[in-house]
Structure 1
Amino acid sequence: MTAFLHLSNKLAEKGHEIVFLLPKKALDQVKPLNLYPNLITFHTDHTISIPHVKGLPPGAETNSDVPFFLTHLLVVAMNQTRPEEETILRTNKPDLVFYDSADWIPEIAKPVGAKTVCYNTFSAASIVLTLVPAAERIDGKEMSAEELAKPPLGYPSSKVVLLVHEAKASYGGDTRALVLSSMGKTCRETEGKFCDYIGSQYNRPVYLTEPVLPVDEPNKTSLEPRWADWLAKFKPGSVVFCAFGSQPVVDKIDQFQELCLGLEATCLPFLVAIKPPSGVSTVEEALPEGVQERVRGRGVVYGGWVQQPMILDHPSVGCFASHCGFGSMWESLMSDCQMVLVPQHGEQILNARLMAEEMKVAVEVERGENGWFLRQSLEDAVKTVRGEGSEVGEKVRKNHEKWRCVLSDSGFADGYISKFEQNLTDLVKS
């Protein structure tokens, strides 16, 4: 939803009007990011009510409310909002409707004359692997959806139910175009061959947005005092920042503890922002015995939300360890911080491979035979990207700087959004 709002800001900057539909809880979270309230309006009269579905926690409305393995139930709940959304579309009669996984949107948009585009914030590589029709034949062997959903060799099963067939439906039917977001590192410079392949398989034009996470957020300098004061205690580039997104992604307490112990072993100051692992309600309950006393003054593990882009921009932060979600990956590319990758599920694994093996801008933490990482592997990865004299570290630092310069160039971003706007204009007229 954040990606949708950032894209809305870019379109509103060019004078387009946007009506944003989302659950009430999410409205409170993204409304402060609206840079053009005169053009981007939230449909508060008909804020979408997410019905309760058996198995979902009470009040769950977004992915951040549930563990990773329950997100498929949110899809079930969202599908039940169709009557509400039909009413809203009949009232507003938009020219274009952007949607992600609700494959029935084109059906309800067509009667009001609206064109539809499927807006996807996943990397093009992950779409090729799991969704395109030709991917069902690998080395001449028929592959089921369940087989395609398996994690790569060396990773544990995540127990995630991937609704592959439903996702495929979003890309077909009456939808007129597929939109891939650079937020997932999908731009022609990095994934052009995958974009072309997706378009050929679905027989749809593939439009690319510019990087939709703005470099200059409003009030960017206003980092929360508790973190600004804490970070100010340390030397420039000395702090390791570790963040695993808004979803609970670490399923095992022992993996959570290996993460903490690995950061402790670096002997560097560190700040961890992470949801509690499965089975506990707070991060404090899951901490390794004695770690709080041993790292007091130089290490913090926090279970709440933090201003990630602002922390990455702080001069004291020199290394970023992340779960490789699309937002974190883009923000890390645009920062000066060296990158350590600790992917957990699905697309995060593919993102990590793209960054570490294709672009060579980061180091991925090695895993053992059982698929889990150990504290020593995390410590080694951090020291590799930071250490002077490390051949690998020197190489990823140079590559990171090269890509950061390319992607942060204003002409690069402007070129993408201008072409994207023209694509949409042509689609509305067609």
Structure 2
Amino acid sequence: MMSKFHAFMFPWFGFGHMTAFLHLANKLAEKGHKITFLLPKKALKQLEPLNLFPDYIFFHTLTIPSVDGLPAGAETTSDIQISSGSFLASAMDRTRNQVQEAVSIGKPDLIFFDFAHWIPEIAGEYGARSVNFITISAACVAISFVPGRSPDDLAVPPPGYPSSKVLLRGQETNCFSFLSHPFGDNTTFYERIMIGLTNCDVISIRTCQEMEGKFCDFIESQFQREVLLTGPMLPEPDNSKPLEDQWMQWLSRFEPGSVVYCALGSQIILEKDQFQELCLGMELTGLPFLVAVKPPKGSSTIQEALPNGFEERVKGRGVVWGRWVQQPLILAHPSIGCFVSHCGFGSMWEGLVNDCQIVFIPHLGEQIFNTRLMSEELEVSVEVEREDTGWFSKESLSGSIRSVMDKDSELGNLVRRNHAKWKDSLVSTGLMNGYVNKFIEALQKLV
């Protein structure tokens, strides 16, 4: 029997990253391994309920220093606009002494990290192994981060890149311009990720061989690092908290598979005209819908930003909601027939393991790769076509939704069949457990 290890986890201060790390922590803790989870104080309240093994997973809170340009009290990405990410990265970098002290006292065997590119140095100093845990798709990493290339080369696939449809089209390459932007003290986003990938002891990716094997092999060959796959790392369904009554009652009024649910993630705040086009596109489908997005820029509430007459026209069949909802439970409700999403990696998996049709409106670079993977490689979803402005029209949104919701649609039936096939293999307990067991075995050999 192999010995138990002690792992530190230090994810980027975004909830998509922190929750992915915590799902992994739960899987390791389930097998009796001890985890010390480093996070900002403000994130504790939201993450504590997701800790399924409080006897094995211990939260260690960090004091986030103030940084010029970072709003007072901001500690996570949900406290800031995307454009302020660099200030939050500086704050993260300035917790280095706190992290180092915790490591010196806790003496972990492994340290998992993603954006804190200086972790391998600390790990080396205290005899721990550093594990770079990637929570985005392998396809995205395989084209964006290749030793010896710069962000300017992104329009052209690197030599040896797997034959694939997961590529940017010419007009979209500007969505990766953020790679060369400053991100933290004296580093660009690209340099930060490259240093972490080049200096870590091992790379782990939240994906599975069946979906992205060729991209994982490519990363392994480029970085000369072992690549370990965790599998999709989906949270166990939480049956202790049922769906909130207001949504349960509202959704239950509609036929099975008839409601469109749209959510664009916690970081995206739309311009007012984009928000209105989204609402009008939903109205145009003629279907019942629930949209969960933050109020658009310049508006303090959803109500004040809605198009004229919209509420009266959709009364009884459409709701636009500006606050958090229980997404996994909503997606699992029998009335939901279509999920319209930005295709963040977490939402991508949540869509895959439910029965609803999937329509994607990707917003940022990584989401575009995820969308290509789903829509063109796996053919389980549809991507909304964009106008020259870079946004979409209400007609293209409603057309994409109708193309998968209409019972006679050839495209709708194709993606439904493919989706059902992938869902069956992903939710089979053997697949998830097999990945976790293999992953833990590889970690035990590492320490």
Number of residues paired by the alignment?
Answer: 412
SS of residue in 2 equivalent to 1:301: strand
**Counterpart of 2:115?**
101
- In structure 2, the partner of 1:145 is none
CA distance in 1, matches of 2:442, 2:426: 21
What corresponds to 1:38 in structure 2?
55
The answer for unaligned runs of 5 or more in structure 2 is: 1-17, 159-166, 182-187
Aligned to 1:181: 206
| Alpha carbons of structure 1 residues 204 and 190: separation in structure 2 relative to 1, 3 Å | same
Q: Which of 324, 331, 335 is equivalent to 2:354?
A: 335
Q: CA deviation at 1:216?
A: 2.0
Q: Which residue of 1 aligns with 2:251?
A: 231
Cα deviation for residue 417 of structure 1 reads: 0.7
Q: Kindly provide the CA deviation profile for residues 104-159 of structure 1, in whole angstroms up to 9, marking residues without a partner as x.
A: 111122222211101110111111121112554579899xxxxxxx9744449567
Q: CA deviation at 1:5?
A: 0.4
- Counterpart AA for 1:285: E
Number of the residue aligned with 2:164: none
CA contact 1:151–1:345 (8 Å) conserved in 2: no
Is 2:390 the partner of 1:400? no
Identity %: 52
Question: Which SS does the other structure have where 2:112 is aligned?
Answer: strand
In structure 1, C-alpha distance between the alignment counterparts of 2:211 and 2:148, rounded to whole Å = 21
Give the AA of the match of 2:223. Y
For residues 262-281 of structure 1, the aligned pairs below 5 Å read: 262-281=281-300
Do structure 1's residue 212 and structure 2's residue 233 form an aligned pair?
A: yes
Partner of 2:219: 198
Matches of 1:66 and 1:302, distance apart in 2: 20
Indicate yes or no: 2:192 matched with 1:171: no
The 8 Å contact of residues 239 and 269 in structure 1, kept in 2 or not, is answered as yes
Q: Is 1:349 paired with 2:385? A: no
TM-score norm. by structure 1 comes to: 0.91
2:408 is matched with which residue?
389
| Cα distance in 1, alignment partners of residues 100 and 234 from structure 2 | 30
Tell me: CA distance 1:139–1:347, structure 2 relative to 1, closer, same or farther (3 Å). closer
Three-state SS of the structure 2 residue aligned to 1:108 is helix
The corresponding residue for 2:271 is 252
TM-score by length of 2: 0.88
Residue 124 of structure 2: aligned partner? 110
1:139–1:333: structure 2 CA closer, same or farther, 3 Å change rule? closer
Letter in 2 for 1:169: I
Corresponding letter in the other structure for 2:40: P
Q: Any unmatched runs of 5+ in structure 1?
A: 143-149
CA contact (8 A) 2:154 2:173 kept: no
Letter in 1 for 2:253: K
Q: CA deviation at 1:59?
A: 1.8
Shift of 1:16: 0.7
Report the counterpart of residue 147 of structure 1 in structure 2. none
Amino acid at match of 1:10: K
Q: 1:407 to 1:314 in 2, by over 3 A?
A: same
Note if 1:375 corresponds to 2:394.
Answer: yes
1:16 has 2:29 as partner = no
**Which letter does structure 1 place at the counterpart of 2:205?**
L
Q: For residues 368 and 380 of structure 2, what CA distance do their matches in structure 1 show?
A: 15
Question: Which segment is superposed worse, 391-400 or 60-69?
Answer: 60-69
1:240 aligns to 2:260 (yes or no): yes
Range that drifts further, 369-378 or 306-315: 369-378
Matched, 1:300 2:319: yes
Q: Match for 1:239: what amino acid?
A: V
- For the residues of structure 2 that align with 1:140 and 1:275, how far apart are their CA atoms? 35
In the TM superposition, residue 361 of structure 1 has moved relative to its aligned partner by 0.2
SS of structure 2 residue aligned to 1:98: strand
Corresponding residue for residue 146 of structure 1: none
